[in-house]
Structure 1
Amino acid sequence: MTAAHLVGYARTSTLDQIAGLEGQVRDLTAIGCSKVFQEQVSSVDTKRPELERVLEYVREGDTLVVTKLDRLARSMTNLMEIMGKLRAKGVELRVLALNLDTSTPTGKLMLNMLGSIAEFERDLMLERQREGIAKAKADGKYQGRAPTARRKADDIRRLKTEGKTADAIAAELGIGRSSVFRVLREG
């Protein structure tokens, strides 16, 4: 096993935030990061190549350091996914702004509490959304999305009588194969 070290990750959303990126790199270097991966890409972008590189680079005993949690993860689910990768490699996480370090029992507790609170907030939001939809339906103000395949039921049956396969019908109408079978089963 090689000697453990601190590895930094810095990210800003746009090229206009060069000072912010430089500030993160300065802070990460100041606390002793031997290497700092940096990129300028929105957290909602699916591709964050430098994040993937740092997750590949870190080794057992290392600590990944970020200045703020939102520089690393786009959501609590994303954070938990990243933490799973780090744990599998024996790597800890340190977040400077939160004074959070998962190598300590308190840091692990804080991270789990943050995850639980985020999950709780999401559950409350979904419950309020369901309640709002139920009220709108009761008031006759919410119809929901009309099922695409059911609107195309006549076309599905016509194409079937023409001898087309379910796959061909689905491709031609831009719907799922299972939707074709459902409509045909229903008559």
Structure 2
Amino acid sequence: MALYGYARVSTNDQDFTLQEQALRAAGCEVIRAEKASGTSRTDRTELQVLLDFLRRGDTLVVTRIDRLARSIKDLQDIVYTLKKQGVTLKATEQPIDTRSAAGKAFLDMLGVFAEFETNLRRERQLEGIAAAKARGVYRGRKPSIDPAEVQRLRSEERLGATEIARRLGIGRASVYRALANDGRSA
């Protein structure tokens, strides 16, 4: 019956030191931490390592439920997996303990609010982008591919799509798009 901690932040400029300190104070000796979005379980290798490692009677500890998942579906999937393994879920800053009915109910409510917050943030972002476009100040992200360079490598150096992609550090599909946009086929 060991306590295992999981800490997560969304971006590289964020720090999970406070989460790690809270998890150690809660009794976790092993803590897995990662910098990844909580909106999906994709690319969250540290979480997957924990889920694969936990055994019956263990407890997974997080500081807040939104550190574990920002989607109610992902949260429910994780909780289902933990329950199937006989693992308890606890949060240090919220009254969540999946061993009690009240803890489970509160967990579901917090999951709904975490997803709601994510959706609100996405809506505000889209509204801001639309307003900026209306003012003519939003141009989108700067292109990461130079179509002229793709064309030059194709026509002057007679390189194939794979070699162009390797040299420019882009995907082959991007090479094909750049070539197609110029009216040429690869």
TM-score normalised by structure 2 residue count: 0.66
Structure 1: segments with no counterpart, 5+ residues: 1-5, 26-36
Structure 2: segments with no counterpart, 5+ residues: 8-15, 37-43
State how 1:1-187 maps to structure 2 within 5 Å: 6-9=1-4, 14=17, 23-25=25-27, 37-39=28-30, 44=35, 52=49, 56-59=53-56, 62=57, 64=59, 66=61, 69-70=62-63, 74-77=67-70, 80=75, 82-95=78-91, 97-149=93-145, 152-161=146-155, 162-186=157-181, 187=183
> Hey, what's the Cα distance between the residues in 1 that align with 2:60 and 2:68?
18
1:53 positional shift: 5.9
RMSD: 3.6
> Hey, what's the Cα distance between the residues in 1 that align with 2:33 and 2:122?
26
1:166 positional shift: 0.3
How many residues align? The count is 162
Distance 1:138 1:174, change over 3 A: same
1:101 positional shift: 2.3
1:33 aligns to what?
Answer: none
Secondary structure at the residue paired with 1:9? strand
* Structure label with greater radius of gyration: 1
> Hey, what's the Cα distance between the residues in 1 that align with 2:140 and 2:78?
35
Larger relative helix fraction: 1
Distance 1:115 1:53, change over 3 A: closer
Secondary structure at the residue paired with 1:94? strand
> Hey, what's the Cα distance between the residues in 2 that align with 1:41 and 1:93?
15
Deviates more, 1:96-105 or 1:129-138: 96-105
Show CA shifts across 1:60-88 (max 9, x none).
xx25164xx32787342498365354134
Q: Percent identity?
A: 35
